[in-house]
Structure 1
């Protein structure tokens, strides 16, 4: 399945996708046509393969009950029940202009949605600042020493853009990841924890993403995102890149990352560090998020604030 979104204006469009809870409709005898999801699978694909992304998961189960015998010579039967499971697919879209500025004020008629080259109906459209469940994945490895202060400031600027109903958790990592603050709406608690952060050890980036994805299963909001702040490639994880990419692919979580990468002119990079920008960029693109590569740590607070604003101005 390929999903494509076209904006009727000359701007860049980036999108992610997540699904809502399935709605079951129990029908007896007659089944009316119900158009609820904007994407429908063709008949041949009624049973999708495991782990294959689908626009709308439609499972039709026919529960035919055997005739029961009543009085002699009389056969009674109950009408067959058809159970139809529909999953509404929500697609979050970010629109930017040629200068990479967020475009607001668009309406439903500005968008067209295609699945496998077939245009689909957009049944719901919203641009409201809905609550989000957000995980901050914060690098505290030894190489972050001189960058910790600006990284803390970046987190503080990001929290300033929060909706009062947002919830956050904090994963800090060096040799191994640790969930230091579980889900909370108290951003002061997260900032207080970051204040006492010290840099040491190696970098278990992949393990920290895995832990964050696991914690995100406890989220209370349908919209979910991770913000990763790190300066280098992985050199201490048990999980592989392939395992993390598969886990991310199956989750409904946008990933934004700020990669603090010093230029080659300043110092040489290890193979892991050289590969890190590509990894973070791929995770961002795969989930409808984005990676920001930074060489000057002074830019960190502004970029974090920009990500926060971007999350507040998505079309759904």
Structure 2
């Protein structure tokens, strides 16, 4: 059954966020208004809820109040996670355990100085008041913003499927001539327009309404029954002068058996260091992420001639200069583009007919034929669960026999789970081998997306993206265009196909690889061969950073190639954890 449809509403109960606070008391306290959390000096606040609605009210207090309402069965542990860094306060809801339908709604009261970023999947977003900055986005939920009439706002609102509704009286209203559907784009200025408001939904409605300016002394009544006490707040032993503190109540963990990826050569393994699910948060806007293994950092860079867009081979270590945060580093280990790779084909077979499976088999066989003799290859297919068709091996005959044995699968699409599981297993068995690539072929339609049938992945997309960024290898994504004209609102809509496309591209960007659009399965074999050709232009550079401080901050990496018109492409940084 589609996850976005057919759910019966459960009885609604109201609950306070019950947290064990790992922040200093000045950052997080229980109060009559809910859980209290202090904003950092930047005012940055990020709110994510993939399991329900978000309601935000701007109030006179200088701290953030957080509470919840729960529709359905009460969770065993609080699903709310609060994380605070020097730069940003993060509030999110953990992913739902399998079989859980409870809806968790977040209610926040925030200071006017807040710079807020809100995101949901199908949940509604409501904003009452105007913070210093507002950015709200949702996949299929509605957005309602009540903005004080006596305010200064620069508003951009866009829905990809419905007309914008507004009762505002703006000082200036822009004409969205660039849009095919002008009624779906609203751009206006109120007053001086000093505060930016950006609202975006793919499938939902956006309603803009005026609101009277509340009194400075007016208090917003708490939403729901408050049942907190000081006993719920714990102050753990902290290391001296911590850079980042966090609060997290983990969701119940399911027992999962991920696929094994073990190379035939026991001295040769996969890539990098494992993602740290419970590590301190540090969001980065400026690029993709790699991980540090002890004090050695390795980057895999593809080098092309920008004038011809063709890969450059035959380069030596002397042709490269590598900079970290602007400081040149000494390259201590260099592997040329001719060095072998561990290659993992991750193939989406969900919804495939026998004829489609045969086409995919043929394309995979051509990939094996195109790969270099020294490359090891593994094949994994997935629909509901990952299936190891072949572990890493150089035996081409065995690979061909394994590919020919691929069967038509059953079940829904759990793309995110399959990719995360593959990353984890390759990472776990990596050792010191750092030339690894995952080549993902899919239409991107994980069953968590709106109107996609079946039970979707357990892992949240943003969590998956973090693991992709931390993966010490290269990830290529091949998006198969399965778009069709929907016959009704129960079918997968064009907007969902667009979202799947965008996420597949984002995975390739975060993974340091290339995104390919495959218009039909007949083109798949040719695209596989292009991937093999690109991997033949990848050089691996390792160095020991001169800045040895482990301060959990972002380190920017820039690689310069001395050849004319040469440009290096790959991941652009790491966390100094």
Q: Same fold (TM over 0.5)?
A: yes
Distance across 2 between alignment mates of 1:145 and 1:99? 40
Distance 1:124 1:163, change over 3 A: same
SS in 2 for 1:258: strand
The equivalent residue for 1:161 is 370
Alignment check: 8 A CA contact 2:444 2:503 kept: no
The root-mean-square deviation of aligned C-alpha atoms, in Å, is 3.1
Distance across 2 between alignment mates of 1:201 and 1:306? 31
Query: Does residue 251 of the first structure (1) align with residue 471 of the second (2)?
Result: yes
Query: Does residue 206 of the first structure (1) align with residue 426 of the second (2)?
Result: no
Q: Give the CA deviation at 1:310.
A: 1.6
Q: Which runs of structure 2 are paired with 1:1-316 in the superposition (5 Å)?
A: 87-97=295-305, 98-143=307-352, 146-195=355-404, 196-216=406-426, 217-219=428-430, 221-235=433-447, 236-262=456-482, 269-270=492-493, 271-316=495-540
Distance across 2 between alignment mates of 1:272 and 1:312? 34
Tell me the number of residue pairs that the alignment of Structure 1 and Structure 2 aligns: 243
Distance across 2 between alignment mates of 1:225 and 1:194? 19
Distance 1:276 1:99, change over 3 A: farther
Gap regions ≥5 residues in structure 2: 1-270, 274-278, 283-288, 448-455, 541-577
Distance across 2 between alignment mates of 1:140 and 1:56? 34
Alignment check: 8 A CA contact 1:19 1:89 kept: no
Larger relative contact order (Cα-Cα within 8 Å, sequence gap ≥ 6): 1
Q: Give the CA deviation at 1:142.
A: 0.9
Deviates more, 1:153-162 or 1:184-193: 184-193
The equivalent residue for 1:75 is none
Distance 1:174 1:161, change over 3 A: same
Q: Give the CA deviation at 1:274.
A: 2.6
Decide which structure has the larger Cα Rg and report it: 2
Distance across 1 between alignment mates of 2:492 and 2:437? 29
Deviates more, 1:98-107 or 1:150-159: 98-107
Distance 1:301 1:159, change over 3 A: same
Alignment check: 8 A CA contact 1:230 1:258 kept: yes
Q: Give the CA deviation at 1:232.
A: 3.6
Q: Give the CA deviation at 1:56.
A: 6.4
Distance across 2 between alignment mates of 1:291 and 1:243? 20
Alignment check: 8 A CA contact 2:443 2:501 kept: no
The equivalent residue for 2:173 is none
Alignment check: 8 A CA contact 2:442 2:479 kept: yes
Q: Give the CA deviation at 1:245.
A: 1.4
Q: Of Structure 1 and Structure 2, which has the larger fraction of its residues in strand?
A: 2
Distance 1:102 1:237, change over 3 A: same
Q: Give the CA deviation at 1:234.
A: 0.5
Distance across 2 between alignment mates of 1:133 and 1:284? 17
Q: Give the CA deviation at 1:295.
A: 0.8
Q: Give the CA deviation at 1:124.
A: 4.0
Distance across 1 between alignment mates of 2:381 and 2:368? 16
SS in 2 for 1:293: strand
Gap regions ≥5 residues in structure 1: 1-17, 21-48, 58-85
SS in 2 for 1:289: strand
Distance across 2 between alignment mates of 1:54 and 1:204? 25
Deviation by residue 1:242-277 (Cα, 9 ceiling, x = unmatched): 221122222212111211114557998545433222
Q: TM-score normalized by structure 1?
A: 0.66
Distance 1:19 1:175, change over 3 A: closer
Q: TM-score normalized by structure 2?
A: 0.38
SS in 1 for 2:500: helix
Q: Of Structure 1 and Structure 2, which has the larger fraction of its residues in helix?
A: 1
The equivalent residue for 1:60 is none
Distance across 1 between alignment mates of 2:513 and 2:537? 13
